[in-house]
Chains A and B, each alone.
Chain A
Amino acid sequence: MNTLLDELKSAFANAAVAPGGGESVKPEASALRVLNVQIKGHQLDVTVTAGAVVAAAELADRFGFAMDTITGVDWIGSGEMEIVYDFFHTQHGSHLVVRTRVPRDNPAVPSIHRVFPGANWHERETHDFFGIKFIGHPNLTPLLLPEDADYHPLRKDFTNAA
């Protein structure tokens, strides 16, 4: 497990221009931290800029991680929204967490559904709850809310006017 996370950590640190896509974005792995969660399981926590999430997901895919979940967090106090991508591994107990922050008034992040098709529904749900736009997503319509919903309930300033 240690070797996997060490390799992953150095892969993040050394990654250059992202393959594919259109724009060349350099995955700046700032604030890279490795946390020991349990005796057996390990967690690698990576913070990247919004443009780098696709490259980060591709690295996760290359190392054999599976899509766990995508969480949105509304930091209304600092005017940001955080998107946390969780990946788990089916062979090791390792865990990869990729975080990014976007401004709250126009939250947009590239979609990773081409790398992990499972992200399709997670991104739709995050859009439902927070209004975060996932650029390149094929179908950003409401998933859990009614089809004609135009509200985003998990925002901290959501008051139910309906």
Chain B
Amino acid sequence: MTETGELDPRRSALVRFARLDQLLDLSRANSLWPLTFGLACCAIEMMATGASRFDLARFGAEVFRPSPRQADVMIVAGTVNRKMAGPIKTLYDQMLEPKWVIAFGNCAISGGPFVFPGQYAVVEGVDKLFPVDVYVPGCPPRPEALIEGILELEEKITGKRRWPRVTVE
């Protein structure tokens, strides 16, 4: 330390200082463990994202945990039914904080193609049950869209985006 109390520049290269919660956010964002919650067609695209071509493991999120106690993020992939609304709320409540929700696919965002006047079975969007952090539209969305959703979530958690955003020319 110098007389003014600042860090000696020769020493600062060896030591990094950060706030603890920034470090925790970084580690949480880089290893989001999803809950296996595929309900319908979008579940297959979620599996394809975890498979070899799109490889969600690059982003630390390939460890799909069936138990909500061990999962960080619930990727609601598929249509939420009124009969299923109770179990899905129970699963959300069972997840430990901090937890996030990605609504994957049009059905999870707003009921998708199954909304019509007089419909009796579909919950129009999972955000009617609990708060959602990231919405990934599509029917079904491409696996790249799910990866983008994970990156958006990471940006939400840490404040920084680890992959450049792709802009359309």
Contact = CB atoms under 8 A, between A and B. Distances in A.
Interface in A118-162: 145-146, 151, 153, 158-160, 162
Contacts of B120: 151, 153, 160, 162
Contacts, number: 13
Interface centre among B83, B118, B119, B120 (most CB of A within 10 A): B120
B79 to A, nearest CB: 14
A153 B120 CA distance: 8
A146 B118 contact: no
Given A146-B82, A153-B121, A162-B120, 10 more contacts: A145-B83, A145-B121, A146-B83, A151-B120, A153-B120, A158-B118, A159-B118, A160-B118, A160-B119, A160-B120
Interface in B50-107: 82-83
Interface of A: 145-146, 151, 153, 158-160, 162
Contacts of B83: 145-146
Chain A residues touching B, majority SS: loop
Interface size range on B against A: under 10
Contacts of A145: 83, 121
Contacts of A153: 120-121
B115 to A, nearest CB: 12
Interface of B: 82-83, 118-121
Contacts of A158: 118
A162 B123 CA distance: 12
Interface centre among A146, A151, A159 (most CB of B within 10 A): A146
A159 B117 CA distance: 9
A146 B83 CA distance: 5
Contacts of A146: 82-83
A139 B43 CA distance: 32
Nearest to B119: A160
A153 B121 CA distance: 10
Closest 7 CB pairs of A and B: A146-B83, A160-B118, A160-B120, A153-B120, A146-B82, A159-B118, A162-B120
A145 B118 CA distance: 15
B75 to A, nearest CB: 25
A5 to B, nearest CB: 40
A159 B82 CA distance: 17
B37 to A, nearest CB: 20
Nearest to B86: A146
A46 to B, nearest CB: 34
13 contacts: A145-B83, A145-B121, A146-B82, A146-B83, A151-B120, A153-B120, A153-B121, A158-B118, A159-B118, A160-B118, A160-B119, A160-B120, A162-B120
A146 B122 CA distance: 12
Nearest to A147: B83
A125 B156 CA distance: 45
B27 to A, nearest CB: 41
A162 B83 CA distance: 14
A107 to B, nearest CB: 20
